[in-house]
Amino acid sequence: MSSHAVRTAALGMALALAAFTAHTADVWDPSKPMPVTGPNLLPNGDFEKGEITPDGWQTIDGLTSLWVEDEDPARGKVIKFDTSVLQSQAYEWWARIVEGASPQDAPAKVASTDPNQYDTLAAFDGVWFFSDFVAVEPGKQYWLALDAKGGEMICWLLGYKEKYPTSFGDDEPAFLGYLRKKAGYDSEQRGFEKIPFKRTWKGQVKAGGSNGWRTYSRREKPFSPTKNTPSVRYVRVLILPYWPPGEYYVDHVRLFEYQKPEAGR
């Protein structure tokens, strides 16, 4: 693809994302109790446990996703994202992460020379960050919430038929295609098959859009991963900041079983 075609594609993606993020994020009123029951089903949703990278989640990469101390010591550790990283630099480093490189050895960010930053991750993939698998039960509903700071982002709940060994970017076909091409496979070769998503169901919470920490959750609408896709047995959380290019922060991601408010009275 020519550089002009890449810029055109990036512009289209950026405009689409800008229009998508124009919708109001799902801010939760902190004075209102959440309609949930039981413990947080996401291990380490507050990102406090781990050594180089938080337990229970994909590894950070040290370039586009970082595990940092928040400015407020009371909040502790959070995940910081940077979507202003060049897509080309990110892919090269991500390939090394897959090969076993440590996020502690991440390279310094190379600044974009495009005044519109259409060559950054913000205009293409965004920065994805997956949780480990969580088992769900047929017919049950679930409630997803998170704290966020910075630009608007999407927090996805993704459904899967089966659990498999996870690896960095294991359900991101564009990046997996890059790895396959890097390994010498020709996408123009006859019989070449595109890499499909492994997920079979998805739902989302819009989060972010504030310079301070706020809590976000889909108002009055729990998730029902098995209602129309009864084969779903596991879910993963996918945090996905993208446009505009910049820094985003996430903390206290929680997934509960839903309980109707009337049942708790």
| CA dist., res. 137 & res. 186, Å (int) | 41
Place of tokens 């039981």: 38
Confidence category of residue 24, pLDDT binned at 50, 70, 90: low
Tell me the average pLDDT across 250-262. 93
The pLDDT, as a whole number, for residue 184 is 85
CA neighbours closer than 13 Å in the CB half-sphere of residue 15: 6
> Residue 247 has which token pair?
């820094």
pTM score of the predicted model: 0.88
pLDDT for the residue numbered 87: 97
pLDDT digits (tens, 9 = 90+) for 149-170: 999 999 999 999 999 998 999 9
Q: Evaluate whether 223 touches 201 at the Cβ level (below 8 Å).
A: no
Within 8 A by CB and 6+ apart from 38, the residues are 256, 257
Tell me, what amino acid is at 129?
F
Q: Work out the mean pLDDT of the chain and round it to a whole number.
A: 89
Query: Can you give the pLDDT at residue 16?
Result: 46
Instruction: Fold for 3-264, please state it.
Output: Jelly Rolls (2.60.120)
Q: What is the pLDDT of residue 125?
A: 95
